[in-house]
Amino acid sequence: MATAFYQWYFEADLIQRSGDLTQSDMVIGLLLIVLVFEAARRVMGIALPLICALFLAYGLFGQYLPGDLMHRGYDIDQIVNQLAFGTEGLYGTPTYVSATYIFLFILFGAFLEQAGMIKLFTDFAMGLFGHKLGGPAKVSVVSSALMGTITGSGVANVVTTGQFTIPLMKRFGYKSAFAGGVEATSSMGSQIMPPIMGAVAFIMAETINVRVNLTAGSWDERRIQADVSGALTDEGNIRGRAVYAHENKNSYLDRYSREVNVFYGVLEADLNPDTLFSVGYSLDKNNANSPLWGALPLFDSVGKPTQLSRSTSTAADWSWWNNQEQRTFTELTHNFANGWQAKGNVTYVKKQSDSELFYVFGTPNALTGDGLFGYPSQYSADFHQWIADVSIGGPFSLAGREHELVLGANWYKSKVEELSRYIPKKSVAVSSEQIYNGASPSRRYTEIFNPQKEEGADRQRLDPIEGENYELGIKGELLDGKLNVSAAVFKTKQSNVAESLRFDPVSGKQLYDGADYLSEGYEVEVSGEVLPGLQVMGGYTYVDIQNADHSHGRTYAPKHMLRASTVYRIPQHPQLKVGANLSWQDDIYRSISLADGSGGRIEQDDYAVVGLMAAYDIDPNWSVSANLNNLTNEKYLSSLYWEQGFYAAPRNASMTVSWNY
């Protein structure tokens, strides 16, 4: 530190002297060289300092050597100046690269290790070679090579992958010395693999768009998200995008936590100016501990609300639910000269689910609290689906008007494999304490045909939903184009819509019944910059849903909904913007049947939820934002679709740091 401070403090004088060292310069320079030699000895042993000393001696005494080994020689001042104060000595290329690039690679590798990439490498190698002859040794080679693409360091490889591969080889009968030798050789060999993953990441950052978000929030929320997109060729005819997100979070619900990993990647290529080909893949993994399967009882045996606390959960501490969805797709789009477009795509979906869950159902006795039943179960499911879709559409003229026509067809094939085990229900007790110029009109008619997967009381799938939808809308601008306004009226008729009937404890499935509905309503939306720096968005929706007998249907859905938000960038501080949002809906209810055969209903009064936000642009690359949700700490039921339910999240906050390049 003292030598570095000397060089920093006397930087201007050292530059002016330009190699003409003073006595103090010589002392500081020699001290720096000695310290570097000692540091090398402590880290690498005596061999490296001896080799370096030999080369320095050759520089000092080379003029005395015979033949081709002789040179004109360097004096001690030249050597000290070159090593300690020049740009080709101790502060040469190795130090520059270490301080600028290698540090970034090390930091990049640390992020990947914390995100679970090292475990991914070992799991990948284990799945590839673990079942083959000599598998553990091959796992060591492959995982070390993959690790080398991050660090380029043999020592780092031994420390990370070795702690897994060496014990693995020993368990399979390899001698300790041989296991260590295989890992050391594999790790040292990985040094010929430069930190490709880090290098690619930073080289890509020079040519494409990169966005990274780091978020921390209530209930130990931790989230990292990276989004990379841009052209992959100079011509720009091949483009790509990759998104990765990792989240760990607890919950306001007792015992509940989850880990989420999401990846999305897509490549698209212009085969010619009118034809676009794209292929993509997405992965969504969601692992939950103590998930609330089902919901909470909302009323007791006499119809009185249970009034449980928001954090109440009936999930057992041993329960878990892991879900994974993979989706692979390819699409081909061609634009014709007359404005028509043809499109075809094929998608393959694979879903896997494994769980051990605890379901609580029933109605608690108003006096004793008894009457609920526990349903422990284990589920495993695999779902495979192929989907193909082709369509063609475009504009045409008819009867003096312009129209648009879309024709298409789709095909899909699904395969589902399910395995479940359950324990017969047991009684448990749960406490209940707790138009104008420029307007653009539109008309739309749609026929509805939607297959359903829900099962009816006869254990057969319900027939498809059928119906029709009418919509009439208009869009326009106000305030000289500053405010966009749209309005629409709609009417929808649907038959055989799945409605929850009851839970079947024998099969462990929810049963449904088909119902007919008529929906009518309207909606109005506005958005725009009404004043300099002031962005507003808002909307109001009214919908009236009727049963086949014209009585009020789907009473658990609100008739009136209002959404509004605003963001204001402060003129005096353009880096700062603040905002607020509001969501309001009117009251809802659900009819229920009590144990004595009488009827009742559970209600949720109208409520409003308010949120606040603030964001600050530190510089063109860095920004920070904060969000406060449910400002007034409103307590409300998230849904009354079932006769069970749970409360929405209380007041919570989060902060995000973003980097854009």
What span, in angstroms and rounded, lies between the C-alpha atoms of 377 and 422?
Answer: 4
* Phi-psi domain of 405 (left: phi exceeds 0; alpha: psi -120 through 50; beta: other): beta
| Percent of the chain surpassing pLDDT 90 | 31
Is the pLDDT at 500 greater than 90? The verdict is no
- Summarised one tens digit per residue, pLDDT across range 594-644 is 767 677 788 899 999 999 999 999 988 899 999 999 999 999 988 887 778
SS3 state at 181: helix
How many residues in the chain?
661
For position 120, what pLDDT does the model report?
65
pLDDT, the chain, mean: 81
Distance CA 333, CA 345 (A): 9
**Where are the domain boundaries for CATH 2.40.170.20 in the chain?**
216-446
pLDDT, tens digit, 9 for 90 and up, residues 389-414: 999 999 988 888 888 888 888 888 88
Measured from the Cβ of residue 83, the count of other Cβ atoms closer than 10 Å reads 20
Whole-number Å distance between alpha carbons of 144 and 123: 12
What's the CATH superfamily of 216-446? Answer: TonB-dependent receptor, beta-barrel domain (2.40.170.20)
CA–CA separation, 471 and 446 (whole Å): 9
Share of the chain above pLDDT 70, in %: 82
Residue 463, CB-side half-sphere exposure with 13 Å CA sphere: 9
Query: What contacts 203, CB < 8 A, 6 or more positions away?
Result: none
Short-list 300, 432, 428, CA closest to 365: 300
Which pLDDT value is given to residue 460? 83
Rounded distance between C-alpha atoms, residue 312 and residue 295, angstroms:
10
Confidence of residue 365 (pLDDT cuts 50, 70, 90): confident
Q: What's the pLDDT tens digit per position in 103-131?
A: 555 555 566 566 566 666 666 666 666 66
Residue-wise pLDDT tens digits, 284-319 = 999 999 998 878 888 887 888 888 888 988 888 999
User: What is the per-residue DSSP string for 520-569?
Assistant: EEEEEEEEEEEETTEEEEEEEEEEEEEETTSSB--TTS-SEEEEEEEEEE
Confidence (pLDDT) at 436: 39
pLDDT tens digits, 553-607? 888 889 999 999 999 999 888 999 999 999 999 999 988 777 676 777 888 999 9
